[in-house]
Amino acid sequence: MASMEKNVLKGCICLSGFLGLAGGAGAVMLARQTAFPRTLTLEAEEAYEKEHGLWGDFSSLERISYTVKGLGGYLLHCEMIPAKEPSSRYVILTHGYTSNRLGSVKYLSVYRDLGFNCIIYDVRGHGENEKTAVSLGQFEAEDLRYLIEDSYARWGEGIELGLHGESMGSAISLSVLRSVSRLRFVVADCGFSNFYDLMSELFTARHTRFLLPAVNQAMKLCCGYDMKKTDPAGAIAGTAVPICLIHGSADGFIHPRHSEILSRKAEGYCELHIAEGARHAQSRAHIGEEAYEAIVRDFLVKIGERESGEALL
């Protein structure tokens, strides 16, 4: 399986062998490798979900396909999977790095059980979308803003809309709060607090930290973005949107401290749940659908009671 971890680690290993020989070229190489990752096809993602028992009954569900224009007219491929019963509740699910919209299938039963229509989509540079630079949150949050606006226009101004994101999808879902406040909630699973800080940790662990400024400069020149500006922690500092953070205690890639940082930065209602023993992006699989759904359900009940004295569910 391709993953953010494999892409970054592979780049770090390659760079270690060329230290002092071609530092600048190595920085460009790693920048491009991170911004233009090898992504999974829809078929490969489906096979993975089925192999790990996360596909459920998705093949039999109604799926409404459509496209939405994101930042700069960039086309996003989307699907809406209706709730089990007619409902005005909607959730947009954002997948992780190198995955695609089918990577969100594992969460559908959780939300459909709770009465939500589910919107899944391919993040820029992933799935059926045109290949382009991936910023892991900066450009993608703007795409999500357009998708949020489209959701209100397409499904009704009166809908109750929330977000769910995994890993990179968590960063995107939190980063959009910098410009969007008309949301009921965000559930952010195993996300990072700042992209540059995450890369700093990974480079430091492999004794290549000194190369990071050059890599970031290469990102600016070759890919058009500054890793420091992919900053979910900064985006949530002024929002009142309720946030539920979930992170595996055994996450060896994005350490749980990132979610701890996010919980301290949040100014509105925020919960932090640590899934004991779960590795990166494995909380849903590790603790099981029932336990994961209970976390989401209890969170929604609490925010509903806080806002109106009545449970949201």
CATH code (residue 80): 3.40.50.1820
Token pair 């409902």 is found at 87
Q: 213 in a domain, yes or no?
A: no
> How would you write the pLDDT of the chain (313 residues) with one tens digit per residue?
445 555 555 555 444 444 443 457 778 888 999 999 999 999 999 999 999 999 999 999 999 999 999 999 999 999 999 999 999 999 999 999 999 999 999 999 999 999 999 999 999 999 999 999 999 999 999 999 999 999 999 999 999 999 999 999 999 999 999 999 999 999 999 999 999 999 999 999 888 888 899 999 999 998 999 999 999 999 999 899 999 999 999 999 999 999 999 999 999 999 999 999 999 999 999 999 999 999 999 999 999 877 655 555 6
Q: 82 in a domain, yes or no?
A: yes
What is the C-alpha to C-alpha distance for residues 93 and 100, in angstroms, rounded to an integer?
11
Dihedrals φ, ψ of 183, to 5°? -140, 150
Q: 278 in a domain, yes or no?
A: yes
Q: What are the structure tokens assigned to 311, written together?
A: 């449970």
Q: 243 in a domain, yes or no?
A: yes
Q: 301 in a domain, yes or no?
A: yes
Kindly report the number of other CB atoms within 10 A of residue 178's CB atom. 18
Residue pair 131/75 in contact (Cβ under 8 Å)? The answer is no
Q: 24 in a domain, yes or no?
A: no
Q: 249 in a domain, yes or no?
A: yes
What is the domain extent for residue 301?
42-202+226-308
What is the C-alpha to C-alpha distance for residues 163 and 161, in angstroms, rounded to an integer?
7
Number of structural domains in the chain:
1
Q: Kindly report the CA angle at 17 between 14 and 23, in degrees rounded to 5?
A: 85
| Residue 140 region by backbone torsions, left for phi larger than 0, else alpha for psi between -120 and 50, else beta | alpha
Q: Which residues contact 291 (CB under 8 A, 6 or more apart)?
A: none
